């Protein structure tokens, strides 16, 4: 919820990053995935109503894709505080990652907004015995006493996990690494073996595969946590798992200890997010086929929240008398990811 009330100052257009031209913006189509309480939707609708030409506001469509029925109703109430918004706004209560809910492919340019969505999407854990051993899937099963759980390691077999590993290791697999370097790494791993654990954003991959498939001309805006403090769980991109007991927060050292009463938050690896985005658009597949001369299908940029707000927000409106500016000084562990289509659509 940290940026919802501020986003309305900037979402409709990005100067210098605008591939949706003026003609296309006459009838803007905006999707929001996981709209929370509807504050962002209302802020954007308010902004367009007050600042855009009347025809733009009258013809726009804002669709919230919300999996929670209770939040869907709260969104309707929030947006409905301005009665004229209701004819432009609707909530579709469904899973955005389910392809069947989207219907036919829509070639119309549109915006897709995801704020604090990626940190709550499903992730999969993989494990390797050392620096060069192949990755294995981590499964969780109950022990014989049926109360505690333990991890089981199996060869990669899930197609979603396999695709995510390929994206993560793509540059390493396609680099011109010499045989001597590979041999040195192998020897080092035997002398100083170091087990590896890695959390994969498979839920993000699945969602972006669906979005690129049904909305090929979308412009994407995503914001989330780039890192989380005080994470005790081991592994790359490991989550923060916590619960509240007697009014105090308790962070778990193992996800196996959390039995349905804990919150889980994953940090977003924005470098990997960009790779997944390009993969789902077809860009990495083109490179793999040695046909990269067609050019990139997406233009992307990752910005710290303060940089994003300085460029697209109104930070002068939020500066306090002592110089403190929550819009720029807070949220240091969050970033924005912007991705827009280029003209290379073949």
CB 113, CB 30: distance < 8 Å: yes
Q: Is the pLDDT of residue 190 over 60?
A: no
- At 33-44, the pLDDT tens digits run 999 999 999 999
Q: Is the pLDDT of residue 115 over 90?
A: yes
3-state SS assignment for residue 209: helix
pLDDT of residue 151: 93
pLDDT band at residue 193 using 50, 70 and 90 as cut-offs: low
pLDDT of residue 5: 35
Query: What percent of the chain clears pLDDT 70, i.e. is strictly above it?
Result: 80
pLDDT of residue 13: 42
Structure tokens at 225: 């946590």
pLDDT of residue 143: 73
The DSSP annotation for 50-119 comes to: HHS-HHHHHH-EEEEEES-HHHHHHHHHHHTTSGGGGGTEEEEES-TT-GGGT-S---S-EEEEEES-GG
* Exposure string for 7-39, b = 16+ CB within 10 A, e = fewer: bbbbbbebeebeebeeeebeebbbbbbbbbebb
Angle at 94 between CA 92 and CA 99, to 5 degrees: 110
pLDDT band at residue 260 using 50, 70 and 90 as cut-offs: confident
pLDDT of residue 26: 52
- Look at residues 112, 120, 122 and name the one whose alpha carbon lies nearest to residue 33: 112
Beta bridge partners of 61: 29
Q: Is the pLDDT of residue 182 over 60?
A: no
pLDDT band at residue 89 using 50, 70 and 90 as cut-offs: very high
Q: Which residues, at least 6 apart from 338, have a Cβ–Cβ distance to it below 8 Å?
A: 14, 17, 219, 220, 221, 300, 301, 302, 303
Q: Which helix (H) or strand (E) holds 307?
A: helix 305-312
Q: Token pair 């170091």 is at which residue?
A: 194
Q: Kindly report which listed range (139-143, 259-263, 290-294) carries the lowest average pLDDT score.
A: 290-294
Q: Is the pLDDT of residue 345 over 60?
A: no
d(CA 136, CA 128): 6
d(CA 300, CA 199): 24
pLDDT of residue 11: 40
pLDDT band at residue 170 using 50, 70 and 90 as cut-offs: confident
pLDDT band at residue 294 using 50, 70 and 90 as cut-offs: low
Q: Is 229 exposed, middle or buried (0-12, 13-18, 19+ CB in 10 A)?
A: exposed
Q: On the CB side of 245, how many CA atoms lie within 13 Å of its CA?
A: 8
């Amino acid at each position: 919820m940290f940026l919802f009330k501020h986003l309305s100052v900037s979402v409709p257009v990005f100067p210098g990053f605008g591939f949706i031209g003026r003609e296309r913006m006459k009838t803007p189509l905006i999707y929001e995935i996981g709209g929370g309480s509807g504050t962002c939707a209302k802020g954007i609708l308010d902004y367009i109503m007050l600042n855009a030409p009347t025809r733009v506001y009258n013809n726009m469509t804002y669709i919230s894709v919300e999996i929670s029925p209770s939040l869907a109703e709260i969104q309707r109430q929030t947006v409905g505080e301005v009665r004229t918004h209701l004819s432009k706004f609707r909530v579709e209560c469904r899973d955005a990652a389910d392809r069947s809910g989207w219907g036919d492919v829509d070639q119309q340019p549109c915006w897709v907004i995801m704020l604090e969505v990626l940190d709550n999407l499903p992730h999969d854990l993989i494990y390797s015995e050392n620096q060069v051993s192949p990755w294995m899937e981590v499964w969780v099963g109950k022990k014989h006493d049926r109360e505690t759980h333990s991890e089981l390691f199996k060869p990669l077999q899930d197609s979603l996990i396999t695709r995510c590993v390929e994206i993560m290791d793509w540059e390493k697999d396609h680099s011109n690494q010499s045989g001597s370097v590979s041999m040195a790494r192998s020897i080092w791993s035997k002398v100083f073996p170091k087990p590896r654990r890695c959390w994969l954003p498979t839920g993000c991959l699945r969602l972006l595969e669906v979005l690129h498939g049904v909305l090929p001309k979308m412009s994407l805006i995503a914001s989330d946590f780039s890192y989380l403090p005080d994470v005790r769980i081991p592994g790359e991109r490991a989550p923060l798992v916590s619960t509240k007991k007697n009014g105090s927060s308790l962070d778990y050292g193992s996800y196996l200890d959390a039995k349905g009463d804990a919150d889980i938050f994953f940090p977003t690896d924005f470098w990997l997010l960009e790779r997944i985005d390009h993969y789902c658009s077809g860009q990495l597949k083109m490179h793999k086929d040695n046909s990269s001369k067609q050019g990139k299908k997406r233009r992307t940029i990752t910005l710290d929240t303060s940089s994003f707000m300085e460029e697209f927000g109104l930070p002068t409106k939020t500066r306090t008398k002592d110089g403190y500016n929550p819009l720029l000084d807070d949220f240091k562990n969050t970033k924005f990811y912007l991705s827009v289509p280029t003209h290379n659509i073949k």
